[in-house]
Amino acid sequence: MRPTQVYGHSNVLDAARERIAFVFDQFEDIHVSISGGKDSTVLAHLALMEAQRRGRRISIFFLDEEVVYQETINMVEYIMEQLAPDNVIPLWLQMEFNLTNATSLTETQFVPWEPGKHTVWLRPKKSYSIKFPMWDRATQIVADKNKGFGFYDVFVNFERCYHNTAFLVGLRGTESPNRWRTVSRHPATIGGQPVYWATPKADNFSLYPLYDWNFHDIWKYIAENGLRYHRIYDYQFKKGYPLQEMRVSSLIHEKSFKALVDLPEFEPATYNKLLKRAKGIALAQETGKKAKLFKAQRLPKNFTSWRAYRDFLIATHPDQAKCAIMAQRFARHLDNEYVARQQCRQLILNDYENNLPVDNQPDPRDNWIAYYREVL
Amino acid sequence: MIYLGYSTAEKQQIVADYCAVHAIKQTVVIAPDRFPLSVAGADQVRYADVIMYVTFYRLLQAIERDTLIVLHECLRTQNRYDLAYNCIRNYLNRTAHCLVFQTLPQIDERDDFMVLFDWVTQSRWKREHFSADLIRAEARVHVREWPLALTRLDVPTSDATRLKYDAERARLFDGLGAKDPHTLPRNLYLLGGRDKAAYIAARKPAGGQLALFAAAPPARYVARNQRLNLDCVTTYDDVEPGGAPYTAIELPHRFIDWCDFVSYTGQAATEVLVADLKADQWYFERAVKWQERIHETYTSLRP
């Protein structure tokens, strides 16, 4: 059997504790980013236990996208208010920014905590949350002018407010090659020693103490320490979700809108509020996993090819400005059915940012067709 | 423990012995509709129902440490992340007592066997591919090898059929569009049907011979559907065990349908009508290779 990892003398838990102790030795300011998911819960617990041991306070940072499970909010409250309240500086950001809404072609950008819509917000703002940007709006960084001030811009500008600060993130390398690359691409030097589980970020550092943990290590830690965890995982497990799909995040962006399909079953009250809050929710709930619409796996019957369907979508797209960005990108792609199907998916999800990149390859069906031409 | 190729009576005896030795208080039998296994006092659960909430939560509560779960012919998926697979896995997490009965070790590839292996090892090796060493080290597998055999009966086709085949082939390739390319062999395979029907009619014993062979059961044929309209032909869904062996007019496209046919009828050796059309040749050769893969798996599993 081929080993997938090389095992050392220490276990991942002891190693993570040593890493966190190292961070406490090296940094005065420590921030732990949390999402309410299992990984960040474990990371926050490990960091807070170390803070408690040393009698120090650390910041727990949560960027509230509004359109999240109620259970996510319960988890954030649990981490900020119950795990080790005396050692926590809560940094709960509830401010407006642009979030991709993959469920609607007429409301392509969702603005969490949008002023004037407070009557339909999913819930009131938290009393101790940060409600306004901590930085100068006039000089803030905006990566994509088409999108405007977006999700990742909040992080970038937030981190610019700090110097020589450690940002701990619960990223695990085994989740995907992309995540592994994020952890290992630019090793940092901290206190004169190379740290391969950290990356420098301007004046600060991002550190990934759980980078070598596996899925089962996380659950073992949660069980052994009696930690509370996101209940949605239980529901997903019982419904037979594959491990890689058992995740909790925002409910409407292009990588997570499928969560809407089971939302009425998992959290009916959240679904009910979301119907009033954002456009396209009911359609995505009904068709989020259907082959003919959002997944773009089966061609609608009035089209004979994906290329024809793509051209139709481009011609009738309600947001022609965003559509032009995509059409320009498609012009550089191969012209075959395999690529055209993925282009249709981008158009349906309005993924002008290219977050679900097109695999620009020759059509794999071609091999089968060539094979059948030969043998039949 | 995994038992491959055992008879119904043997399976029932194995279950009874296991219950006696391990002081089992409750038995749950999970089986598809077509493959029931009668066990006295057992809770019978349809395979199709294992994913239903009404079954899922009831079983999670009912299964205790002294419950035996019998999985009978439950290899219905090649996907180790399938919903039914996951639900069964959850039931098995509640007890260490599990017996798996299956006729053939795989649907198509030998990795399929790892679904059965996962069930008896509580999925500790879920990410591993088929490995005889791993299986031997971690599970007890009892193998009764089925002597699978396919014999071809060549059926000559008429010029008209061959012309029709060429025309249909050209039409299907030209009009494929966005359709699944696997529809090509499926459709072309049906074209030899008329010639096969003529072959069957010619094969019937003449009137004078009937009396001589009165004791022999009439020949039976199996096809994908009833389009030939012959009394002696039945579909794969309607086959019955016992009686004369079936001769296959066409092989099913999905191997799981062929596994079901073999398991349900108990017919390991089958004659197959093979027309002199390329689609027929392709299907037959594919089935022979499948048979060879099964033999390789048997060889690997032998102690």
CA-based nearest residue in chain A for residue B187: A376
Note whether B117 and B85 are within 8 A (CB): no
Of A84, A96, A20, A4, which Cα lies nearest the Cα of A52? A84
Note whether A246 and A37 are within 8 A (CB): no
CA-based nearest residue in chain B for residue A365: B181
Note whether A299 and A309 are within 8 A (CB): yes
**Cβ within 8 Å, pair B86-A373:** no
pLDDT of residue A1: 41
pLDDT of residue B207: 52
Note whether B143 and B302 are within 8 A (CB): yes
Task: Report the C-alpha gap between A170 and A37 in whole angstroms.
Answer: 9
- Give ipTM to 2 decimals: 0.86
Residue B56 in contact with partner chain A when CB distance is under 8 A: yes
The neighbour count for residue A48, using CB atoms within 10 Å, is: 23
DSSP for residue A318: S
Mean pLDDT value across residues A71-100 = 95
pLDDT of residue A297: 87
**Cβ within 8 Å, pair A369-B181:** yes
Per-residue pLDDT tens over the stretch A136-166 = 888 899 988 877 898 889 999 999 999 999 9
Note whether A283 and A260 are within 8 A (CB): no
Strand ranges of the sheet holding B141-143, from the earlier edge strand across to the other edge: B43-46, B26-31, B67-72, B97-102, B2-4, B141-143
pLDDT of residue A171: 92
Position B206 confidence tier, pLDDT thresholds 50, 70, 90 = low
Per-residue pLDDT tens over the stretch A212-226 = 998 889 999 999 999
**Cβ within 8 Å, pair A238-B56:** yes
Measure in Å the smallest separation between the Cα of B215 and chain A Cα atoms.
42
Task: Report the C-alpha gap between B57 and B43 in whole angstroms.
Answer: 15
Pick from B184, B186, B282 the residue to mutate for testing the A interface (most A CBs within 10 Å).
Answer: B184
pLDDT of residue B26: 96
Measure in Å the smallest separation between the Cα of A245 and chain B Cα atoms.
11
pLDDT of residue A2: 42
pTM higher than 0.80: no
Note whether B136 and B163 are same-domain residues.
Answer: no
**Cβ within 8 Å, pair A243-B81:** yes
Q: Which of residues 172-201 of A touch B (CB under 8 A)?
A: none
Measure in Å the smallest separation between the Cα of B242 and chain A Cα atoms.
35
Does residue B214 surpass a pLDDT of 60?
no
Domain of B60, in residue numbers: 2-143
Per-residue pLDDT tens over the stretch B154-198 = 999 999 999 999 999 999 998 887 788 999 999 999 999 999 999
**Cβ within 8 Å, pair A306-B178:** yes
> Residue B282: which of A304, A306, A375 has the nearest Cβ?
A375
Does residue B215 surpass a pLDDT of 70?
no
* B88 contacts on A by Cβ (under 8 Å): none
Note whether A104 and A280 are within 8 A (CB): yes
| Pairs across A and B, CB distance < 8 A | 47
Token digits of residue B252? 């099913």
Note whether B170 and B119 are same-domain residues.
Answer: no
What count of Cα atoms within 13 Å lies in the side-chain half-sphere of residue B301?
26
Q: How far is CA A57 from CA A51, A87, A92, in A?
A: 6, 4, 16
Pick from A238, A372, A373, A374 the residue to mutate for testing the B interface (most B CBs within 10 Å).
Answer: A372
**Cβ within 8 Å, pair A369-B169:** no
Note whether B55 and B173 are same-domain residues.
Answer: no
A190 DSSP β-pair partners = A193
* A243 contacts on B by Cβ (under 8 Å): 81
pLDDT of residue A146: 76
Note whether B154 and B118 are same-domain residues.
Answer: no
Note whether B130 and B136 are within 8 A (CB): no
Token digits of residue A153? 């811009």
CA-based nearest residue in chain B for residue A299: B178
Note whether B121 and B257 are same-domain residues.
Answer: no
Among the residue ranges A213-222, B23-32, B210-219, the one predicted with the least confidence is B210-219
Mean pLDDT value across residues B44-52 = 93
> Residue B128: which of A1, A304, A368 has the nearest Cβ?
A1
Does residue A252 surpass a pLDDT of 70?
yes
Mean pLDDT value across residues A126-130 = 96
Token digits of residue A199? 């990356």
Among the residue ranges A52-66, B28-42, B49-63, the one predicted with the least confidence is B49-63
* B84 contacts on A by Cβ (under 8 Å): 240
**In angstroms, how far is CA A314 from the centroid of its own chain?**
28
**Cβ within 8 Å, pair A376-B184:** yes
pLDDT of residue A341: 93
Q: Which of B92, B119, B143 is the last residue of a domain?
A: B143
pLDDT of residue A5: 57
Mean pLDDT value across residues B283-297 = 96
How many degrees, rounded to 5, is the angle at CA B49 between CA B44 and CA B50? 85
Per-residue pLDDT tens over the stretch B87-117 = 999 899 899 999 999 999 999 999 999 999 9
**Cβ within 8 Å, pair B177-A304:** yes
Note whether B179 and B99 are same-domain residues.
Answer: no
Note whether B275 and B253 are same-domain residues.
Answer: yes
Residue A373 in contact with partner chain B when CB distance is under 8 A: yes
CA-based nearest residue in chain B for residue A368: B181
Q: Which of B143, B164, B193 is the last residue of a domain?
A: B143
Percent of chain A with pLDDT over 70: 98
Note whether B138 and B154 are same-domain residues.
Answer: no
pLDDT of residue B208: 47
Residue A372 in contact with partner chain B when CB distance is under 8 A: yes
Note whether B132 and B102 are within 8 A (CB): no
Instruction: Look at chain A and count its residues.
Output: 376
Q: Where are the alpha helices (DSSP H) in B23-158?
A: 53-62, 83-92, 113-120, 132-138
* B181 contacts on A by Cβ (under 8 Å): 365, 368-369, 372
Note whether B86 and B193 are same-domain residues.
Answer: no
Note whether B68 and B108 are same-domain residues.
Answer: yes
Domain count across chain B: 2
B248 DSSP β-pair partners = B222, B272
Per-residue pLDDT tens over the stretch A178-205 = 777 777 778 889 989 899 899 998 889 9
Mean pLDDT value across residues B18-42 = 96
Does residue A305 surpass a pLDDT of 70?
yes
Q: Which of B106, B128, B143 is the last residue of a domain?
A: B143
CA-based nearest residue in chain A for residue B80: A242
Token digits of residue B239? 């086959």
Note whether B137 and B165 are same-domain residues.
Answer: no
> Residue B81: which of A242, A303, A306 has the nearest Cβ?
A242
Average pLDDT in chain A? 90
Does residue A315 surpass a pLDDT of 60?
yes
Does residue A67 surpass a pLDDT of 90?
yes
> Residue A373: which of B85, B173, B182 has the nearest Cβ?
B173
Note whether B153 and B224 are same-domain residues.
Answer: yes
Which positions ≥6 away from A223 have C-beta within 8 Å?
none
Residue A246 in contact with partner chain B when CB distance is under 8 A: no
CA-based nearest residue in chain A for residue B286: A375
* B87 contacts on A by Cβ (under 8 Å): 240
Measure in Å the smallest separation between the Cα of A14 and chain B Cα atoms.
23
Average pLDDT in chain B? 92
pLDDT of residue B263: 95
Tell whether the torsion through CA atoms of A288, A281, A99 and A108 is positive or negative: positive
Pick from B53, B60, B81 the residue to mutate for testing the A interface (most A CBs within 10 Å).
Answer: B81
Task: Report the C-alpha gap between A318 and A38 in whole angstroms.
Answer: 39
What's the CATH code of the domain at B136?
3.40.50.10810
Measure in Å the smallest separation between the Cα of A211 and chain B Cα atoms.
20
* A299 contacts on B by Cβ (under 8 Å): 178
| Three-class secondary structure of residue A90 per DSSP | strand
* A306 contacts on B by Cβ (under 8 Å): 178
Measure in Å the smallest separation between the Cα of A335 and chain B Cα atoms.
14
pLDDT of residue B205: 65
